[in-house]
Structure 1
């Protein structure tokens, strides 16, 4: 399995389409409809549906019988340093090693299978770097790439919110200093 990266967003009205690429090959096409508040993906000949919020689990469903789940350790993706991901019978652990660097390990032996980062525009250009020799199925790779994107976006939104509140709180003081 080669590295996975997200292609350019294509916005058409309330729908945003983002391809998930493996090299030059489109592995999956994600469509988010902001009016209906739904996200779906076409992975091969199957349609996946996704549910995720800043709080709680992130879930992907394939048909009626398959469900994949990501659970943040602190209940929210923006505050958690660990995320447990279940894809079929395998469990993965996403661990934040540094400020924005994450590793993906397969349990129970904690063998590293991939990594991703939010540094240097990593949120806009998320790349799931798969370790050489790592055994990942297409479903595992697609779901892990989506969870990586969710984790990085949630952390960015959380940081932006805190920064905005701090700037608003400091605005009267800054205005007072410059007017005197």
Structure 2
């Protein structure tokens, strides 16, 4: 009994000393970190639908730009596996946009059915509705549609690089023609002073 009273009398001063010295006294046992929330299939599907619509809109913008039509058509042919001439003929017959046509062809290929079958299912429904009904993921469709834009972006970047090189070459030609010396090359980077190692004298 005396030992218990002695221990209780020492507990409060000890805690007071620890707090005064800046120590923290845990009040509760450490808890495990909260688990990450489970993925939401509905949110993932909604995001994929938005991405699909954006890809379709982007392809239509590309094909509406005369300077990009050929490279866009070549990219569509590669991603759908359909020849460019056949793509154009099918688009005119179906009265679809290029983006919708590519999506329909890719869905038909993924479902292993004809494009005519997918086109009939399209009446009154969206492409995402057809994919959901056939239990097809949109990720593969979006990947191929996005690859069309990536090919066009690469083409545009190369064109801009070539145009900059031609402009620089023309500027240098005009400078030589008028006797203007070319600008000096940039100086080499300054060398940093070397520091001896500690054991060197």
TM-score, normalisation: structure 1: 0.33
Larger radius of gyration: 2
Tell me which protein shows more strand as a share of its residues.
Answer: 1
Q: Could you say which structure has the higher helix fraction? A: 2
